[in-house]
Structure 1
Amino acid sequence: MISIVPMKLQDAYKIRDIDRSETIELIYHCIDDELHERKILNECPNWDEEHYKEIISRYEYELRNGGTAYGAYDREKLVGFGVLAHKFRGKDNNQLQLDLMYVTREYRRQGVGSRIFEALSREATKRGAKQLYISATETESAVNFYSSRGSAITPDVDEELFQKEPKDIHMIKNLLD
């Protein structure tokens, strides 16, 4: 039984339990608010030590500054997590960013990601957000996951987030629908 619970700052080390590896067969590029696909075959490896440190640092930064994280646990093992950033964004200052979201490889396609996404969406609504801003990796799995949960490409790309990850697909999820 997988449980979805709020995570604390001291849980950061558990992120090392996540296996983010995946086989990528299709990626997207966004041109003039339209998705264009490109077939590839790439085995994306798990994070190396430098990437673990980067992800853990982002997690800790958000939690120290008022962000929220939810983890999916199979007993004591973290099998997925998501982070809701603390900073409001958008021209109406009514968006919160879904900053990080990963489900370990062997637990994908079992509803774990959906449950984390729902928990983060509820938290964003509680904090007064009208939308989630999602800077999704350009992989088919990520874009299709967010699209299937009502997210859509945004014409109002956040410049700061675009500069950090220009290949990402920038999406918005309306929370009040």
Structure 2
Amino acid sequence: MATIMITYRTMTLDDVNQLQEIDRSEHIDLIYEMRENRLVELEQNHECSNWDEMLLKEIQNRYVYELEQGGIAYGAFAGDQFIGFGVLAHQYRGKERNQLQVDLMYVSRGYRRQGIGKRILNELGEEAKKRGAQYLYISSTETKSAVSFYKSQGSQIASEIDQELYDKEPKDIHMIKELGT
């Protein structure tokens, strides 16, 4: 069987309709909650479905908004197939305004655990450093797979929670990743 090469590139507004090609579905066996400043594990056993029309539209709107405001998107492709992307938001966050947020991050189900998310996150981190940020701020979905991924990439639980992002997604696990020099 031939191996398909994974390629990466900066995405544009014209790529917005490709977001529907991502298979975000997954089996969720564990989620986390923050209680008294620590992660608590909660067992689960359900399937998270792919996009519905409303969620896809919301994701597309966020993508367009961030790119129009100066954010950047980075995508992964297996041949012509779109298989993953991440969006670095435009707005600086944190008391010292030295953080940029990873606003969206998805890798299609059949392509996870192959280094694609790591590559996308690293590219977003490099861009954030070029823009003068010292940290990535990550409002991670509460699933074990997402939180474990970000922790494996050097992220830690944020000591300073961004209230605006918390209000949008109160169940998310808020994390910070230092961007070395």
TM-score (norm 1): 0.98
Structure 2 SS opposite 1:109 = coil
**Offset of 1:77 from its aligned partner?**
1.4
Q: How many residues align?
A: 177
Rounded to whole Å, the distance in 1 between the matches of 2:82 and 2:123 is 16
1:163 aligns with 2:174: no
Structure 2 SS opposite 1:128 = coil
Rounded to whole Å, the distance in 2 between the matches of 1:12 and 1:31 is 37
1:12 aligns with 2:16: yes
Q: Identity of paired residues, percent?
A: 57
1:81-130 CA distance string (max 9 Å, x none): 00000000000000000000000000011111111011101010111000
Counterpart for residue 67 of structure 2 = 63
Counterpart for residue 99 of structure 2 = 95
1:29-56 CA distance string (max 9 Å, x none): 0122210001010100001111111100
Q: Specify the code of the residue in structure 2 equivalent to 1:176.
A: G
1:129 aligned to which of 126, 133, 139 = 133
TM-score (norm 2): 0.96
Rounded to whole Å, the distance in 1 between the matches of 2:127 and 2:9 is 12
CA RMSD of aligned residues (A): 0.7
The aligned runs of 1:75-94 (5 Å cut-off) are 75-94=79-98
The aligned runs of 1:111-150 (5 Å cut-off) are 111-150=115-154
Unaligned runs of 5+ in 1: none
Rounded to whole Å, the distance in 1 between the matches of 2:110 and 2:18 is 16
Rounded to whole Å, the distance in 1 between the matches of 2:8 and 2:127 is 13
Unaligned runs of 5+ in 2: none
Rounded to whole Å, the distance in 2 between the matches of 1:137 and 1:33 is 17
Q: Which ranges of 4 or more aligned residues in structure 1 deviate by more than 6 Å? A: none
